[in-house]
Amino acid sequence: MINDARFGISGGDLFFRARHKRAYNWAEKHRLKIEPTLFYFLDDGFGSRLFLEYDYQITQKSQFRIDYSIRHSQAFSGIRWQQGIYILNQLSEKKATVFGFEIKGELNHDREFTVDEYSINYRYRFNALEEWLFFEIEPFLEFTEEDNFKLTPGIGLRVEGFFH
């Protein structure tokens, strides 16, 4: 059963994605989310992804989250994986923050298990101008294998429209 399907553009590449979502809640504080996905990118070909997420509701306005995903596509041999740990806080009806630590890597025949990147980030999200319009500011620190794990600071800016 497909929960959603999407055509779009990501990083200048056309794609199609079909995703199934399942969530299991228990004891009013725990949630496990499972999302298997099949996709096709024009540049990368066919692929699949499995995303797992565990949430623990600390208080009514704060949450602890751990997620893990593995991804494979025709564009590379082996799998790419990502793991994250986050603290989410709702500051008000229109503002929220996320503090996160992420590790990314791959598992393949050439290099076996490797870590490509570590990152620490802080995301501030707010709703402004219109009910459906959201803005995010995300300062981050990255340590990538490509840069010999040297500290690389950066900032991400996002605008998102949420229509329902």
Mean residue pLDDT of the chain comes to 90
Residue 45, amino acid: G
| pLDDT, tens digit, 9 for 90 and up, residues 51-72 | 999 999 999 999 999 999 999 9
pTM value is 0.82
Give me the pLDDT at residue 43, please.
81
**Which pLDDT band holds residue 2 (cuts at 50, 70, 90)?**
low
Domain, as residue range, for 81: 4-161
Give me the pLDDT at residue 1, please.
56
What average pLDDT does the segment 8-36 reach?
88
Pick the closest to residue 102 from 89, 85, 123, 114 (CA basis): 85
**Which pLDDT band holds residue 129 (cuts at 50, 70, 90)?**
confident
CATH of the domain at 132: 2.40.160.40
Give me the pLDDT at residue 68, please.
97
SS (H, E, C) 31-82: EEEEEEEEEEECCCEEEEEEEEEEEEEEECCEEEEEEEEEEEECCCCCEEEE
State yes or no: pLDDT of 26 exceeds 90.
Answer: yes
| pLDDT, tens digit, 9 for 90 and up, residues 103-114 | 999 987 777 888
Q: How many domains, the chain?
A: 1
| pLDDT, tens digit, 9 for 90 and up, residues 78-99 | 889 999 999 999 999 899 999 9
In angstroms, the Cα distances linking 159 to 82, 87, 88, 90, 128 are 24, 22, 19, 19, 10
Give me the pLDDT at residue 164, please.
67
Spatial separation of the C-alpha atoms in residues 117 and 148, rounded to whole Å: 10
Contacts of 131 (CB under 8 A, 6+ apart): none
Give me the pLDDT at residue 64, please.
98
In angstroms, the Cα distances linking 106 to 1, 69, 109, 154 are 29, 11, 10, 23
